[in-house]
Structure 1
Amino acid sequence: MGEAATWRVAVRTLCDFTAREGDLDHRFTPAPSAREGIDGHALVAGRRGDGYEAEIPLSGTFEGLTVSGRADGYDPLANRLEEVKTHRGRLDRMADNQRALHWAQVSVYGALLCAERGLASVTLALVYLDIATGRETVLTREASAAELAAFFETQCRRYLAWAAQEAEHRARRDAALVGLAFPHPDFRPGQRDLAESAYKAASTGRCLLAQAPTGIGKTLGTLYPLLMAMPRRGLDRIAFLTMKTPGRRLALDALSALGADVPAADATDTERRPLRVLELTARDKACEYPGRACHGEACPLAAGFYDRLPAARQAAVTRGWLDRASLREVAGEHGVCPYYLGQELARWCDVVVGDVNHWFDANALLHGLARANGWRTGLLVDEAHNLVERARAMYSAELDQRRLARLRRAMPMPLKRPLGRLARQWQALVKEAGLDEAGQPGAPAYRVLEGLPAGMVAALQGVASAITEYLGEHPEEASLELQELLFEALAFTRLAERFGDHSLCDLARHGRGRAVLGLRNLVPADFLAPRFEAAHAAVLFSATLSPAHFHRDLLGLPEATVWREVASPFAAEQLELRIRADISTRLRDREASLEPIVSELAGQFRRRPGHYLAFFSSFAYLDAALACFCEAHPDIPVRTQTRGMREEAREDFLAGFAPGGESIGFAVLGGAFAEGIDLPGDRLIGAFIATLGLPPADPFNEALKARLAARFGRGDDYAYHIPGLIKVVQAAGRVIRGPGDEGTVVLMDDRFARREVRARLPAWWGPPVTTRGGAAPPARW
């Protein structure tokens, strides 16, 4: 254990890679929090004698691999080395692969300790501390220094073979990327500017906000320069993060164009791209046995998972291209779960394509791996204008009074008392807030609370603790509903611990006996800022990232963030832009607006037949307009978006926009068809937008406005105007998708004619043709 180090690895990482065995087991087991774990370790150390050594740094080297870590404790008098693990409830519920991992860890520490101190043998002890009772369960075994050294060397050899392979892969990858060629004869107009800006961001380790028009190839224009930067700037990983599934497909298509999907087994040396690409898919979509629990007794792909994982992992990294279908194929060949194989491969792939939650969520996989391994990560965030709302949802939580009451009736006796205390807190909170629980006419239905209801939060913490203790002792009672209740309680209380002016607490009544308590994030910047700091560089791109200060403020972007607006390759002559200034789509004017809207739709269709999309502010408005249109013009083909539309139905809706056809599609602004879809050429020749996209001026949005005004001095803009116009521009952007496209956009509301509104529309649209009818409505938003 004295050679010069070529590779370094932590004890936990080494054992996690080499020593797990047996089944995958994700049955629910109540786990201590990080704070409870730290306190538990301190408790054990405090119980030992004066000579007890805690947190001992140990390291050793074998054939160029340095292994290091901190052993929990050593008693020199007893010659006993301890590995302390905190737990809740029954130890017999601990998965076998966890126990194997624990023994491996203490054995490696034992080898390092014996080598460092010249010990002939040592007693190894696993100390399991029940944090609820403070009781210790100690498992021990005697081990000689020679036995431990042999074990250590075996683990090191297993890891070294992989480490050497990874080093070779990294060298080959970087060599190939140095000479990476752009996959087309030339860049599209504007694409080169975007690529150069993205490369500079990666080179300088900065954050870039890039507003670039639809149709210039933003996905390829950002992936290519970051791949070029990987060898030159020492990037370990690229994470391409998307808001929706279609964005993942675009990223994979771009990587395919760059040659990343050439199978290693079939490629020649000149064709081969030694680049590992992984698509991360949601668990419910990747699961091969829906409805079955994730453990060996219930799922055949969980049985023996860790025994088959090494071969599956090797096959996967050899293949390199691991989109959803390829990953499923590898998993099937080796009889392992594709979802958890993907989670493992996130550690070993160069480019990971997945949802934004994999980096920005509170428990994000990629962010956690990057922090644990010290990766230099390049982030690419597609359709970044959506990140504000997505992040707000990540850091919000709510509780439903009626659901809790229903669960209370079915709960075992030990849980009825804490749930009863919670029910009484509900009643007191509703009464105090002035929301009449009986639903009397005139009682307010919504109230923003002054702060966190302390009694309610305390009662909820009591419920979480009671459920945790109960499930620790009665794991067979871990029903799905009980687990969901626990997770909801924990999510709410953990957010409550971080409550500040970035969030608000509100209470809404939804009928008799049903109130919903919400803890809602308003300014995600406070949560996201550390995530951006953890990345080496980040490129956020979209067609609608203006104004820059809106996204800088609400996302918590670094001070040195660069703003870049890429000039549009499109000309005003491609787009006929009209404003119907005689129409008001305000709520009070909706009924009167239907006839002129229908007339405009039909008139434009008859002047230039083809495919159109008409966007409305809500399904109620859409339904009213559709009924009126069908009655007045039954000969014009229509299709419509519906509430809760499934993926297959959405695909059918889009398939109806076939080349050479004619129809008007009715859709909701901000919905599935208002952004992220591509209908080039004559698949879509026009859009009608019958709304400014403004959120309703309800108590919540007014509270949001007040909070944003207090923090940034821009209440109306940040709460209403900017989010609304982003939706409008996104929807209108469906029309012109390429240099040969021509189309029409009709903005139907008098407020679009205002100077301050027109100033926020894309400059390349050119001046609109404005038509007016009768007297204009009052000049207000």
Structure 2
Amino acid sequence: MSYRVAVRSLCEFTAKQGDLDLRFTPSPSAQEGIVGHGLVTGRRGAGYEREVALEGRYGELLVRGRADGYDPALNRLEEIKTYRGDLARQPANHRALHWAQARVYGWLLCRSRNLPAIELALVYFDVASQKETLLLERRDAEELRAFFEAQCQAFLTWAEQELAHREARDRALAELRFPYPNFRPGQRQLAEAVYKAACTGTHLMAQAPTGIGKTLATLFPQLKACPGQKLDKLFFLAAKTSGRRLALDALATLGRGRPLRVLELTARDKACEHPDLACHGESCPLARGFYDRLPEARAAALETPFLDQARLREVAQAHRVCPYYLGQELARWVDVTVGDYNYYFDLTALLHGLTQANQWRVGVLVDEAHNLLERGRGMYSAELDQRDLRAARRQAPAELKKPLERIQRAWSALAREQVRPYEVKEELPGKLLAALQQAIGAINDFLADAPAGLDVELQAFYFDMLQFCRLAELFDRHSLFDCSLLPPDRRGRAASRLCLRNVLPAPFLAPRLAQARSAVLFSATLSPRRFYADTLGLPTNSVWLEADSPFRAEQLSVRIARHISTRYGDRAASLEPIVELLARQYRERPGNYLAFFSSFDYLRQVSALLAERHPDIPFWEQTRSMEEDARQAFIERFQAGGRGIGFAVLGGAFGEGIDLPGERLIGAFIATLGLPQVNPVNEEFKTRLAALFGSGYDYAYLYPGLQKVVQAAGRVIRTPQDEGVVHLIDDRFARPQVRRLLPSWWRIEEDAQLTCSSSSQHVV
């Protein structure tokens, strides 16, 4: 069995040394890099060869990659690097890595074509000025062979260790057994579908009820399929910390006593030990000498197969390296990575980039996949606020004030053309984008000589500019460019907010899903299938599964309060009947309940009336911007044998992802259809989605709203032993087009009271 390694990965392992240094970054965006490479190679002669595939062996090591270009007439191999800023400020270890790559490619080319010598070129292309800087060296083939073999020899011990680990891992996974005597109802069905998808290389959308053990039912078959499908890595992607925790718990059970390496990736702000310091050796002690200490830290980390956040931090502290960047390095060497969606789906996602660079065969599991729509929209959107620009200008050093003033002038000119408070623009503002790019270049130059970094306001605006410019390059029908006029400040100055607002993340998500050998998107709410397939970019041949529910209709009484309307215009009239419904249910069966509303204002109006009319009924409320300890205190009020009503906002922290089995929660009231607010932005979404799919209202309002309703109702029945009640409070829940979107196992009852007179005047 050969160990395959990409040229870049080989050189990063053997040639990186010295400090972790991010001052010469950020690099140009991926799109700028592609364009830059194209411009450089487009300037070459007719016989120039692009993307030259090369490979070579050294013992059990198979090294492969694609050289950027080769000119047979000059016998010159080129390694092309795009950059911004002043090349003279490039750290020496960056240059050393680039030369190492060029020399390895040089040997592979000499070997494949029997060349006695070759000229190597590092071509640095400035994406701003579009100028090339050419660094040349001529090497004999024997020199390059010796260099190649030295790199391989330095890597070989590690490669042999990795081969032994892979063989042991695959043997263990081939013998893996389900860790419990029996599957739960519906769990085996899901596990079999996941295994089949992994073995056939297809993508699966799986809707499976809460409580069947979806996390274990997806991880177990994917791991079981790894040896036969020769999968290199498995990525478990979650929307929330609770999802990561469930995955880590399941992997701890499945991996117990087995050579399975598991890594948890966390956000930089949660992992950084010195958030007040810049990421380079002159500022941060954990960046100083990072690559010199990395080999020992890496080896020590992998002696412990289970690397959650706490264990990773322990290893990093012991070896005096940055825990965040140690985790990034270890992602190359573990078998299973558990992290947030953004680690695979973001524009500059680490795991997706590594998969491409190393040509890994990967399996991808997307937990609670209904969240990927809004999260995807957030990842592929960007916003600039003119008030933030003013704050950045006030704090900016003298050499950066002029570039920021150019942005201000271009922005003000754009705002003067606007008539309405909110407008969608058909074209991107060319002058403003040029000013943003110039400012980014100026800040990059400044950062190379500023160990202390940027002021907080300027740094935040700098990152906003980077995201805005990256997405401007990718702007298309999947997104809107809009401008909102803001109220004047205390000095009477007008301002506006610009947004590149993603409507449809599918064009961004689809290539990342396609990169996987198989991907499984699973959730308790993925209906209707077509909506999620369209918006998340699933391939046309993806498979759909609706797993059998382990719950009986008798366990859950679902009642529609069709005599109440929760429409905005009817809310004042709805307060009293909602309060009486809450009180009647509570007195019929005292216990713990959750009551969901569409807004904090609506919630407080109902809770205040409940306190006035029924002061003996305990209740507690979700508040705006609750801290973690306050959220935990809210959940801890739901104890077995307890009594009271917790008031929460639908779609918030308590609408999904919390587990309150048995008597901890015996019922829920949902006083809203969860429809997004009707506003200019959502109306533009409706128009764009109608043009794309023909169902603008359903795609923009109805489907996202009812998904939140079903998730909230799913908090009530968590085990086959639970019994409870859900009150759907609005006459629109009785309409056939709405009822069809509710879970098929629900037995729905309608109250005998008459529909309110106002409801007939409204459509769903």
> Does residue 305 of structure 2 align to residue 324 of structure 1?
no
What is the match of residue 222 of structure 2? 226
What is the match of residue 269 of structure 1? none
What is the match of residue 585 of structure 1? 566
Deviates more, 1:108-117 or 1:650-659: 108-117
> Does residue 470 of structure 2 align to residue 485 of structure 1?
no
What is the match of residue 57 of structure 2? 61
1:148-159, aligned counterparts within 5 Å?
149-159=145-155
Which one of 339, 343, 347 corresponds to residue 362 of structure 1?
347
> Does residue 505 of structure 2 align to residue 517 of structure 1?
no
Task: Indicate how the Cα distance of structure 1 residues 694 and 89 shifts in structure 2: closer, same or farther if over 3 A, else same.
Answer: closer
Task: Indicate how the Cα distance of structure 1 residues 566 and 136 shifts in structure 2: closer, same or farther if over 3 A, else same.
Answer: closer
What is the match of residue 245 of structure 1? 241
What is the match of residue 727 of structure 1? 708
Shift of 1:357: 1.1
Task: Indicate how the Cα distance of structure 1 residues 465 and 711 shifts in structure 2: closer, same or farther if over 3 A, else same.
Answer: same
Structure 2 residue identity aligned to 1:169: H
Shift of 1:632: 2.7
> Does residue 536 of structure 2 align to residue 555 of structure 1?
yes
Deviates more, 1:134-143 or 1:659-668: 134-143
Alpha-carbon separation, structure 1, partners of 2:83 and 2:478: 34
Task: Indicate how the Cα distance of structure 1 residues 211 and 155 shifts in structure 2: closer, same or farther if over 3 A, else same.
Answer: same
Alpha-carbon separation, structure 1, partners of 2:4 and 2:303: 23
Alpha-carbon separation, structure 1, partners of 2:75 and 2:158: 34
1:211-290, aligned counterparts within 5 Å?
211-258=207-254, 260=255, 262=256, 272-290=257-275
Alpha-carbon separation, structure 2, partners of 1:585 and 1:166: 60
* C-alpha distance after superposition, 1:44-63 (max 9, x if no partner): 88999999999877654332
Which one of 396, 399, 408 corresponds to residue 384 of structure 2?
399
What is the match of residue 432 of structure 1? 417
Alpha-carbon separation, structure 1, partners of 2:348 and 2:370: 22
Alpha-carbon separation, structure 2, partners of 1:130 and 1:699: 41
What is the match of residue 422 of structure 2? 446
What is the match of residue 189 of structure 1? 185
Deviates more, 1:351-360 or 1:749-758: 749-758
1:701-780, aligned counterparts within 5 Å?
701-773=682-754, 775-779=756-760, 780=763
Gaps of 5+ in 2: 489-493
Shift of 1:493: 2.7
* C-alpha distance after superposition, 1:447-476 (max 9, x if no partner): 333443444444444444554456568787
Would you say the 8 A contact 2:170–2:227 is kept in 1?
yes
Alpha-carbon separation, structure 2, partners of 1:385 and 1:69: 37
Alpha-carbon separation, structure 2, partners of 1:148 and 1:173: 35
Structure 1 residue identity aligned to 2:733: F
Deviates more, 1:512-521 or 1:121-130: 121-130
Alpha-carbon separation, structure 2, partners of 1:6 and 1:285: 38
Alpha-carbon separation, structure 2, partners of 1:49 and 1:773: 81
What is the match of residue 200 of structure 1? 196
Alpha-carbon separation, structure 2, partners of 1:717 and 1:78: 61
Task: Indicate how the Cα distance of structure 1 residues 320 and 53 shifts in structure 2: closer, same or farther if over 3 A, else same.
Answer: same
Shift of 1:498: 2.2
Deviates more, 1:461-470 or 1:646-655: 461-470
Alpha-carbon separation, structure 1, partners of 2:150 and 2:127: 34
Which one of 11, 26, 32 corresponds to residue 7 of structure 2?
11
Task: Indicate how the Cα distance of structure 1 residues 31 and 739 shifts in structure 2: closer, same or farther if over 3 A, else same.
Answer: closer
Structure 2 residue identity aligned to 1:378: G
What is the match of residue 206 of structure 2? 210
Local SS of the residue matching 1:433 = coil
Alpha-carbon separation, structure 1, partners of 2:719 and 2:58: 59
Task: Indicate how the Cα distance of structure 1 residues 202 and 740 shifts in structure 2: closer, same or farther if over 3 A, else same.
Answer: same
Task: Indicate how the Cα distance of structure 1 residues 580 and 188 shifts in structure 2: closer, same or farther if over 3 A, else same.
Answer: same
Which one of 326, 330, 333 corresponds to residue 348 of structure 1?
333
Alpha-carbon separation, structure 2, partners of 1:717 and 1:229: 38
What is the match of residue 168 of structure 1? 164
**CA RMSD, 1 decimal:** 3.2
Alpha-carbon separation, structure 2, partners of 1:565 and 1:113: 52
> Does residue 681 of structure 2 align to residue 700 of structure 1?
yes
Shift of 1:70: 5.8
What is the match of residue 587 of structure 2? 606
Which one of 650, 653, 658 corresponds to residue 634 of structure 2?
653
Shift of 1:424: 3.6
Deviates more, 1:321-330 or 1:680-689: 321-330
Alpha-carbon separation, structure 1, partners of 2:47 and 2:142: 26
* C-alpha distance after superposition, 1:201-236 (max 9, x if no partner): 112111111111111111111111111111122222
Alpha-carbon separation, structure 1, partners of 2:373 and 2:42: 46
Task: Indicate how the Cα distance of structure 1 residues 738 and 297 shifts in structure 2: closer, same or farther if over 3 A, else same.
Answer: same
Local SS of the residue matching 1:99 = helix
Deviates more, 1:628-637 or 1:37-46: 37-46
TM-score normalised according to structure 1 size: 0.89
Alpha-carbon separation, structure 1, partners of 2:373 and 2:160: 42
Alpha-carbon separation, structure 2, partners of 1:118 and 1:728: 68
Task: Indicate how the Cα distance of structure 1 residues 301 and 605 shifts in structure 2: closer, same or farther if over 3 A, else same.
Answer: same
What is the match of residue 438 of structure 1? none
Which one of 370, 385, 388 corresponds to residue 370 of structure 2?
385
Gaps of 5+ in 1: 263-271, 436-444
Shift of 1:182: 0.6
Alpha-carbon separation, structure 2, partners of 1:688 and 1:43: 60
Shift of 1:615: 0.4
Alpha-carbon separation, structure 2, partners of 1:705 and 1:53: 47
Shift of 1:748: 1.2
Alpha-carbon separation, structure 2, partners of 1:555 and 1:39: 27
* C-alpha distance after superposition, 1:472-524 (max 9, x if no partner): 68787744544433332232233223222211122222311221111111111
Would you say the 8 A contact 1:277–1:352 is kept in 2?
yes
Q: How many residues align?
A: 757
Local SS of the residue matching 1:763 = coil
* C-alpha distance after superposition, 1:620-649 (max 9, x if no partner): 111222222223333322221111112222
* C-alpha distance after superposition, 1:403-437 (max 9, x if no partner): 223333444566555544433443343333314xx
Shift of 1:173: 1.2
What is the match of residue 555 of structure 2? 574
Deviates more, 1:412-421 or 1:764-773: 412-421
Task: Indicate how the Cα distance of structure 1 residues 539 and 29 shifts in structure 2: closer, same or farther if over 3 A, else same.
Answer: closer
1:301-320, aligned counterparts within 5 Å?
301-320=286-305
Alpha-carbon separation, structure 2, partners of 1:362 and 1:55: 23
Would you say the 8 A contact 2:592–2:642 is kept in 1?
yes
Would you say the 8 A contact 1:578–1:745 is kept in 2?
yes
Structure 2 residue identity aligned to 1:199: Y
Shift of 1:744: 1.2
Structure 2 residue identity aligned to 1:519: L
Structure 2 residue identity aligned to 1:310: P
Shift of 1:85: 4.4
Alpha-carbon separation, structure 1, partners of 2:70 and 2:528: 59
